[in-house]
Amino acid sequence: MIDVELEVLGRARDLAYPETRRAVMTLHDDIRRPTEYHLGWTDVDGTPLGGKGGKGVRTALAIVSAEAAGAPAEVGAPGAVAIELIHNFPLLHDDIIDTDRERRHRPTVWALFGVGSAIIVGDALMALAPQVLLEEVTPERVSATRRLLDATAAMIAGQADDMAFEGADDVSLSACMRMVEGKTGALLAFASSVGAVLAGADIDVVEALESYGRHLGVSFQALDDVLGIWGDPRITGKPVGGDLAQRKKTLPVCAALACERREAAELRALLAGEALDAAAIARASQLVEACGGRAFTEQLAETHLACALDALRSGALDPHAVSELEALARFVTRRDH
Amino acid sequence: MIDVELEVLGRARDLAYPETRRAVMTLHDDIRRPTEYHLGWTDVDGTPLGGKGGKGVRTALAIVSAEAAGAPAEVGAPGAVAIELIHNFPLLHDDIIDTDRERRHRPTVWALFGVGSAIIVGDALMALAPQVLLEEVTPERVSATRRLLDATAAMIAGQADDMAFEGADDVSLSACMRMVEGKTGALLAFASSVGAVLAGADIDVVEALESYGRHLGVSFQALDDVLGIWGDPRITGKPVGGDLAQRKKTLPVCAALACERREAAELRALLAGEALDAAAIARASQLVEACGGRAFTEQLAETHLACALDALRSGALDPHAVSELEALARFVTRRDH
């Protein structure tokens, strides 16, 4: 299984990397350098690291989604570039908003190059993504661009929810789910279908892949939320209970707040209180677990993974691509790597 | 003359405002509210101010550029909405970067709603602008979208130059001109031609209008740079010598640094020095003037205004629209209002 997973990731990266690189090289020097650093291509001083960036799950989804529609992998490449760029711009901006000084065990762009730099680098990547798609004007490229812009808007609305919820005492599970579908689901739905859109696939093929991506996004976010409270900082690269310290209303927290037990009231009061020190954070994570927030969220991740896999049955998709999408879904939702 | 100017501004605003409003209303509540405030539609507490935003020069350029190509004003409306949105996103981000707490005599969005809010509001407006253009898919809409994205990328590169120059001891006039053409020229060239693009006008018409807008942008920026050093804070809403305090390498400064006089060396040393107090800023502005930086920049503004007006002769443009574009150019480059 590992081999299948690595094969598709490596293959997609090899295909998309030169294209992404070509797009990034068109940027202003002072934007390109922080971009190359952020993408993991170079070190702080600009020395090439010899790698091609992160695991490249979104890249692989874009490439395989072209194959799922019966098209050659290359057809998905502009979509792979666009999703890589559009996925990274909010990371640059979020790190400023959350004052996170580290990402993936490295200093964040704002911490290294300054807030101004991180803001305009994010802006530049956001402008570049639709530019890449519209380099050629075909009905398929235009359709992909519209979908990219819609997904971007949905993602930003999800971020707005996320930020608003930090200051809210209570957030319903349905509001939290809406936030997750926007913040994470929209871009994964785009990534998982853009290749098919570029291939001019039938709407039922596109919709099956979108559904797969949206469910996969929710499953991924649910597991990420669990790690945000109970994850090992050495692996996640984030502080213990970091999400709780920021009073984020993640899925486990919203599920816990929705329960009838008296622990939920204690949790609510704790998260609405003044200072959240280490003891308060530890207590809060106990309370979330006692109220079933962890178990609920882990189950939610399972359910949405199953829905994602089910969605692959509903369209007339290429069987080999389906097996790769299945492997990618398991890879994304198994965080021990 | 005043009446002609006001007529076209009011007419364009009346036409574009409902469309801009409709687009803004699609945004998440927590993004829409700061947007309405920033655009001058509402007060801090959300109370409608009854106005339709600023002077609306860019709106008017977009509308009139449709008429210049012989099309009805309405054809330019989606372009007017897009330029209004794309013009405002960097203002939101620049105010954070420059830590400016006031704009047009009102608190800036980051000062009022927080840095995180100002970042994602800017992001949302940047995504919304091409979405509005691509609401309908026609060759004209797609072409306008590509031009919007190209202009946005050029503007961001201009900002990157602007920021880099703050830390540079010396910036050549040609580098400064390139920065101004990107930072201000690109979006005004887009604003001044998008209506014609949407009307499906011939390339010579589009290029004449682009040339007009690019020159107008440089002329405007030159005058803005003069005001940034010698302007009356009660009128500009900016601190005296604010640009010098930030060590911005604006046109007057770069022109002064390029001169052979010994005052240029003193200016260079002053701007590279540690602290820039009020006395140092006053001395720096004297030195810029002594080196001819002010006179050069004022002359540059005149020259580019003349070029802008000349460009209107080169295409087969509607004569009434041309007279309105002439009036708009004079309005934009006469800052005593």
Q: Would you give per-residue pLDDT tens digits along chain A (337 residues)?
A: 444 556 899 999 999 999 999 999 999 999 999 999 999 999 988 899 987 777 899 999 999 999 999 999 999 999 999 999 999 999 999 999 989 899 888 999 999 999 999 999 999 999 999 999 999 999 999 999 999 999 999 999 999 999 999 989 889 999 999 999 999 999 999 999 999 999 999 999 999 999 999 999 999 999 999 999 998 877 777 777 788 988 999 999 999 999 888 999 999 999 988 878 889 999 999 999 999 999 999 999 999 999 999 999 976 999 999 999 999 999 998 854 4
pLDDT band at B337 (very low <50, low <70, confident <90, very high): very low
- Three-class secondary structure of residue A182 per DSSP: helix
CB contact under 8 A, B28 and A122: no
pLDDT band at B144 (very low <50, low <70, confident <90, very high): very high
The domain segmentation of chain B, as residue ranges, is 2-332
Using DSSP bridges, classify how beta strands A106-107 and B106-107 pair: parallel, antiparallel or unpaired.
unpaired
CB contact under 8 A, A124 and B97: no
pLDDT of the residue at A136: 97
- Judging contacts by C-beta atoms under 8 Å, the chain B residues touching residue A150 are 131
pLDDT of the residue at A234: 79
Mean pLDDT of B11-17: 94
- Nearest 5°: phi and psi at A42? -130, 165
**pTM of the complete model:** 0.94
- Judging contacts by C-beta atoms under 8 Å, the chain A residues touching residue B152 are 127
Q: Which two tokens stand for residue B101?
A: 């707490």
* Length of chain A as a residue count: 337
| DSSP assignment letter at B73 | G
How many angstroms separate the CA atoms of A35 and B154, rounded?
Answer: 17
Mean pLDDT of B70-95: 97
Give how far B136 is from chain A: nearest CA, Å: 10
Round to the nearest angstrom and report the end-to-end CA distance of chain A: 14
Interface residues of chain B, partner chain A, Cβ below 8 Å: 27-31, 89-90, 93, 96-97, 115-117, 119-120, 122-124, 126-128, 130-131, 134, 137, 139, 142-143, 145-146, 149-150, 152-153, 156-157, 159-161, 163-164
Q: Which residue of A has its CA nearest to B97?
A: A116
Model confidence pLDDT, tens digit, residues B223-251: 999 999 998 877 777 777 788 988 999 99
Question: A173: which residues sit within 8 A by CB, 6+ positions away?
Answer: A251, A254, A255, A258
How many angstroms separate the CA atoms of A120 and A188, rounded?
Answer: 24
Nearest to A116 among B122, B126, B163 (CB): B163
- What Å distances lie between residue A101 and A90, A93, A113, A236, CA to CA? 15, 12, 11, 14
pLDDT of the residue at B275: 77
Nearest to B123 among A115, A139, A156 (CB): A156
Tokens 């068109």 locate to: A26
Give how far A156 is from chain B: nearest CA, Å: 6
How many angstroms separate the CA atoms of A160 and A276, rounded?
Answer: 23
Q: Which residue of B has its CA nearest to A133?
A: B146
Topology annotation, domain A2-332: Farnesyl Diphosphate Synthase (1.10.600)
Nearest to B96 among A89, A119, A159 (CB): A119
Give how far A70 is from chain B: nearest CA, Å: 26
CB contact under 8 A, A134 and B149: yes
Model confidence pLDDT, tens digit, residues B20-51: 999 999 999 999 999 999 999 999 888 998 87
ipTM exceeds 0.85, yes or no: yes
CB contact under 8 A, A120 and B159: yes
CB contact under 8 A, A137 and B146: yes
Nearest to B149 among A119, A123, A130 (CB): A130
Question: How many helices (H) does chain B have, and how many strands (E)?
Answer: 17, 2
Question: A203: which residues sit within 8 A by CB, 6+ positions away?
Answer: none
- Judging contacts by C-beta atoms under 8 Å, the chain A residues touching residue B29 are 160
- Judging contacts by C-beta atoms under 8 Å, the chain A residues touching residue B116 are 96-97, 163
How many angstroms separate the CA atoms of B188 and B216, rounded?
Answer: 7
How many angstroms separate the CA atoms of B23 and B131, rounded?
Answer: 9
For chain B, state the CA radius of gyration.
Answer: 20
pLDDT band at B5 (very low <50, low <70, confident <90, very high): low
Model confidence pLDDT, tens digit, residues A49-89: 987 777 899 999 999 999 999 999 999 999 999 999 999 99
- Judging contacts by C-beta atoms under 8 Å, the chain A residues touching residue B146 are 131, 134, 137
DSSP-assigned states of every residue in A182-227:
IIIIHHHHHHHHHHHHHTT--HHHHHHHHHHHHHHHHHHHHHHHHH
